[in-house]
Amino acid sequence: MPLTASVAPVAPPPRVWARIEQRLGGSTPAPATANITRWWARPAFWRGFAALASVATVSLAVLLANPGPVQPPIVVVLNATAPSSQGGVIPASFVASISGDGRAVVTKPLMNVAMADDRVLELWAAAGKNPPRSLGLISAQGATVVRRASLPAGTDHLAVSLEPPGGSPTGAPTGPVLAVGNL
C-alpha cells in the first residue's frame, strides 16, 4: 500500500465504467458501435435477394412453358406397289413416322401382312437417285422402331421389300418392293 501513495491517481475513461456496469447487469445502453449489423443480416439484403430469385423463377417458368415452335412429326404412308400378291404376300400399306423428338422412325403395317415363313420385310431409305440403304427388318404384324441416326441425309422416300431371312444379303433390295412412300 505505501507504493500506491507515491503514484498519482488516474481516472479511468467513462467507457470502462460503462462496460463494467453492463457486465454487472446495469442499465447503461451499449455503445453505438455494438448496434452495427453485418450486410447479410439486414432485412433489405434478403428482400432484394428474394425479389431477384422470384424474377429468375418466373423467367425460367415462362421459358419452360413456351419452348418455341416444335416441328410436327413427319408421317409417311407407304402404299402397296402392286394390286396382286407377290411371292405369296398379300399387298399391304404401311405407315412410317419420324417421332416427335426426331430420334426414331416408327413403322407399322395398316393391316397384318400374311407371308411365307421363309420371308421377312425390310425397310429401305433413299435420297434422290442414290441407291437405297437398309434401315433394318420390320415386323409384319406390329410396330417397329428404327433409330433415326441410321437414316441417310436427304432421305426423300422409304420402301418396304420382301427379303430372305436375315435381310438382303447384297445390301440392296433383292425381293419385290411391296410398298413405297415419299417424304
Judgement on whether residues 84 and 112 belong to the same structural domain of the protein? yes
pTM > 0.85: yes or no: no
Judge whether residue 166 has pLDDT over 70.
yes
74-80 sheet: strands from edge to edge = 133-138, 120-126, 157-163, 177-182, 74-80, 94-98, 104-109, 144-147
Judge whether residue 60 has pLDDT over 80.
yes
Calculate ∠ Cα 166-162-79, nearest 5°: 135
The CATH number given to whatever domain includes residue 142 is: 2.60.40
Judge whether residue 78 has pLDDT over 80.
no
Output the pLDDT for position 141: 85
Judgement on whether residues 152 and 98 belong to the same structural domain of the protein? yes
Judge whether residue 45 has pLDDT over 60.
yes
Judgement on whether residues 100 and 30 belong to the same structural domain of the protein? no
Output the pLDDT for position 48: 94
Domain count for the chain? 2
Judgement on whether residues 81 and 115 belong to the same structural domain of the protein? yes
**What is the percent of the chain with per-residue pLDDT over 90, rounded to a whole number?**
10
Residue 132, domain extent: 74-182
C-alpha cell at 88: 405369296
Judgement on whether residues 27 and 110 belong to the same structural domain of the protein? no
Task: Decide which of 173 and 85 is more confident.
Answer: 173
Pick from 102, 113, 174: which is nearest to 138 by CA?
A: 113
Average pLDDT over residues 65-76: 72
Output the pLDDT for position 37: 73
Judge whether residue 33 has pLDDT over 70.
no
Last residue of a domain, one of 23, 41, 65: 65
Average pLDDT, the chain: 80
What pLDDT, in 10s, does the model give residues 146-164?
A: 876 667 777 888 888 888 9
Query: Does residue 79 fall inside a structural domain?
Result: yes
- State how far the Cα of 135 lies from the Cα of 108, in Å rounded to an integer: 14
**What is the percent of the chain with per-residue pLDDT over 70, rounded to a whole number?**
80
Pick from 87, 93, 131, 126: which is nearest to 112 by CA?
A: 93
Full 3-state SS string of the chain: CHHHHHCCCCCCCHHHHHHHHHHCCCCCCCCHHHHCCCHHHCHHHHHHHHHHHHHHHHHHHHHHHCCCCCCCCEEEEEEECCCCCECCECCCCEEEEECCCCCEEEEEECCCCCCCCCCEEEEEEECCCCCCEEEEEECCCCCEEEEHHHCCCCCCEEEEEEECCCCCCCCCCCCCEEEEEEC
Query: Does residue 113 fall inside a structural domain?
Result: yes
Task: Decide which of 176 and 84 is more confident.
Answer: 176
Output the pLDDT for position 99: 67
Judge whether residue 52 has pLDDT over 90.
yes
